[in-house]
Amino acid sequence: MLVDTVMTAPVVSVDPSTSIANAAKLMLSLRISGLPVVESDGTLVGMLSEGDLLRRSELGTERKRPWWLEFLASPGKIADEYVQSHGRKVGEIMATGVVTTQRDASLEDIVELMRKHRVKRLPVVEDGKVIGIVARSDLLRALAKTLTAGPAIAGDDERIEAAVTAELNKQSWGGNGMIRVHAKDGTVELTGAIFDERARLAARVAAENIPGVKSVSDQIVSVEPMSGMVLVSPTGS
């Protein structure tokens, strides 16, 4: 899945001269937590997020340090923090050096960028202009849509068995064929043995994700490697 299938477009944005008050009202009214900051020609110059509005003198939340830390901090850093807590315009407190993405990037790339840079949203840029934005909520929306869309195909039992078995065989915890699969009328029965109890739920999840599976019956036994003690499924279904 690519970015242009999940991104929000067109993008609500503000320019650097927008007042902090108006930007905050806009974010509240639209129930969004971040705004791209663009010049009049659409060029991206920064991002304003809720986090940029936390340390504010109006709220009494500006950064305060013990005197000895204040003494050690550079005057330039203290000046930056003063602007962050007292600035009146978006351009004065916005984050610059914004991490961006492109419309043909994969969602895997997006998640990795968000994780690496610890950001919740990425502007989608083309020719230097913002054409969309992808946020965590867009990924969540895509996930919910995928999960509720139903199976792409409703395979017969033989096909289901083959698909579940293939998925188990791809996984290091899959038991190298020790977990057996039988499907009847869309119900998958898992039997055989595992040597780590954590593989039980993983096997069940693997089966549940195969299109056409209606339910899963867990009949797997777990063998404790050291003692040889055998544990049956806690539910048997």
* The pLDDT of residue 237: 46
**86-141 pLDDT, tens per residue?**
999 999 999 999 999 999 999 999 999 999 999 999 999 998 899 999 999 999 99
Those residues with Cβ within 8 angstroms of residue 220's Cβ, 6 or more apart along the chain or in another chain = 179, 190, 191, 192, 193, 194, 200, 203, 233
**Over 60: is that where the pLDDT of 233 sits?**
yes
Q: Residue 32 sits in a domain of what CATH number?
A: 3.10.580.10
Measured CA to CA, the distance from residue 3 to residue 142 in angstroms comes to 11
Whether residue 76 has pLDDT greater than 90: no
Indicate if the pLDDT at residue 67 is higher than 90. Answer: no
For residue 141, give its domain range.
3-146
Show which of 126, 146, 166 is a domain's final residue.
Answer: 146
Q: What are phi and psi of 87, to 5 degrees?
A: -60, 145
Average pLDDT over the chain, rounded to an integer: 88
Question: What are the structure tokens assigned to 60, written together?
Answer: 């009494």
Q: Which residues contact 35 (CB under 8 A, 6 or more apart)?
A: 12, 13, 14, 23, 26, 27, 47, 48, 49, 90
Parallel, antiparallel, or unpaired for β 187-194 and 179-184? Answer: antiparallel
Total Cβ atoms within 10 A of residue 112: 11
Residue 24 has pLDDT above 90, yes or no: yes
Q: Is residue 71 part of a domain?
A: yes
Do 137 and 181 lie in one domain? The reply is no
42, 131: one domain: yes
The structure's pTM equals 0.69
CA 176 to chain centre: 32
Q: How do residues 155-180 score in pLDDT, each as one tens digit?
A: 689 999 999 999 999 999 987 788 99
